[in-house]
Structure 1
Amino acid sequence: MIDVLSLISIGFAFFIVAVSPGPANISNATIAMSKGRKISLVYGAGLSMGLLLWGIVAASGLGVILQGSVYLLMFLKIIGGIYLLWLAYLSFKSSFNSASTISQNQTNEIGYSKWFIRGFVLNSSNPKTVIAWMAALSVGMGANNDITFLVSAVITCMLVGFFVNAIYSILFSINGVMKTYQKIGHWVDRVVSGMFALAGLGLVMSAFKRNQV
């Protein structure tokens, strides 16, 4: 029989990690304000699937191997850092365009599938996510838990991830929030650009610190 209380503990621990501001949540909020709810929900679904990828890695035991593989982890961190720096560049570049001049046609040209891929790539390119999964799973996991419980725990965290991303999409796409973004969007994009740049540089720098994850 599955321990429901343990699953709740794991889900709550993962919620705390998932809801905290980070590159993924900040980008989702920005997209919700600038592009609208539908685009943001698709992007958030991509973020959630990228999150799930690392959950499978952590649950299958590959997370431990990954943490012990210095050069593989270094490579993944460098790739993830470069991608974050690229997002920083794109955010800074878009800050020079007035939010009010962004047309619906411009949004549709990108396509929903590409927004999904962008979200997936962002979360799947950050190997530090596996640590969050391992921390959350360890909250409710015990020596007597079987594979059924492990799968249930991963599914629970996956649902929490989708829920958090959907909440960000809904809250930041409220009409009043979007109108505010149209007024100060260029400053928001520049702040987001700086946060992406810091996160990207931090990830690249951590790749060369062997004693740190």
Structure 2
Amino acid sequence: MIDLFSLLSIGIAFFVIAVSPGPANISNATIAMSKGRRTSLIYGAGLSTGLVFWGVVAASGMGAILQSSVYLLMALKVFGGLYLLRLAFLSAKESMKPNSTNVGMIEETFSGKKWFLRGVIMNISNPKTVIAWMAALSVGLNSNDGIFSVISGLVVCIIVGFATNGMYSICFSYSRVMNWYQRASRWINGVTSFLFTIAGIGLLRSAFNRSSMS
């Protein structure tokens, strides 16, 4: 049976992975600054749900199968790369608008349900997430640990994932941060578009990398 220290180690390892800047966190921070706390919390809940999907995949042992299934992994990476490039295009489009028209523009056409789904798709479209899960779980699990230990580690990571996304939503939705975003929204969206483009191209290159398919 897994002990408290092992669970704590898994939680810390997953927090370090979850809190690090990446496409999901960048998008969540941008949404919090531009659309407010409520929308960002809904989007963050979607991100966390997407994390749960990959967590179940990793914990059930399907992570190893996924890594060995060349064409399935390639298809997921292509989908993820194209989705990131789409986000890059949308951010670039927003960066071309005057600062005063950026805030609240998407709010009119996106319901809470669609924001949630958008968050789910963001994390499900990144198959590399399963590797992060497997790495975090391996910190506190041993080869002789049973299914209860795996489930316990999974639950800890799920809680950490929801808490981390909630932290991003709260921290970046304060009025001062939102006011700063309004003044610098074109620059922020431009940088965000660049980062999404780099991440998307990197994922597409990884999909067709010969060494990753061998």
1:204 counterpart residue number: 204
Count of aligned residue pairs for this structure pair: 213
| More displaced stretch, 102-111 vs 28-37 | 102-111
Quick one: distance in 2 between partners of 1:103 and 1:212? 41
Are residues 196 and 106 of structure 1, via their aligned partners in 2, closer, same or farther at CA, if it must alter by over 3 Å?
A: closer
Are residues 63 and 210 of structure 1, via their aligned partners in 2, closer, same or farther at CA, if it must alter by over 3 Å?
A: farther
After superposition, where does 1:187-202 map in structure 2 within 5 Å? 187-202=187-202
Q: Is the CA contact (8 Å cut-off) linking 1:91 and 1:190 kept in structure 2?
A: yes
**CA drift at 1:106:** 5.2
Quick one: distance in 1 between partners of 2:165 and 2:97? 26
Scaled by the length of structure 1, the TM-score of the pair is 0.96
Does residue 1:61 correspond to 2:61, yes or no?
yes
1:141 counterpart residue number: 141
1:88 counterpart residue number: 88
Q: Is the CA contact (8 Å cut-off) linking 2:29 and 2:169 kept in structure 1?
A: yes
Quick one: distance in 2 between partners of 1:20 and 1:153? 20
Deviations 1:90-117 (A, max 9, x none): 0100112234335658514310000000
Quick one: distance in 2 between partners of 1:104 and 1:210? 43
Which secondary structure does the structure 2 equivalent of 1:193 belong to? helix
Which secondary structure does the structure 2 equivalent of 1:110 belong to? coil
Quick one: distance in 1 between partners of 2:129 and 2:176? 32
Report the AA paired with residue 54 of structure 1: W
Which secondary structure does the structure 1 equivalent of 2:211 belong to? coil
| More displaced stretch, 140-149 vs 58-67 | 140-149
**CA drift at 1:149:** 1.1
1:74 counterpart residue number: 74
Deviations 1:40-92 (A, max 9, x none): 00000000000110000000010000001111111110010000000000010
Quick one: distance in 1 between partners of 2:207 and 2:19? 25
1:37 counterpart residue number: 37
**CA drift at 1:142:** 0.6
Q: Is the CA contact (8 Å cut-off) linking 1:34 and 1:99 kept in structure 2?
A: no
2:125 counterpart residue number: 125
2:162 counterpart residue number: 162
**CA drift at 1:4:** 1.1
Does residue 1:186 correspond to 2:151, yes or no?
no
Structure 1: segments with no counterpart, 5+ residues: none
Which secondary structure does the structure 2 equivalent of 1:211 belong to? helix
Are residues 192 and 127 of structure 1, via their aligned partners in 2, closer, same or farther at CA, if it must alter by over 3 Å?
A: same
| More displaced stretch, 106-115 vs 127-136 | 106-115
Quick one: distance in 1 between partners of 2:38 and 2:6? 34
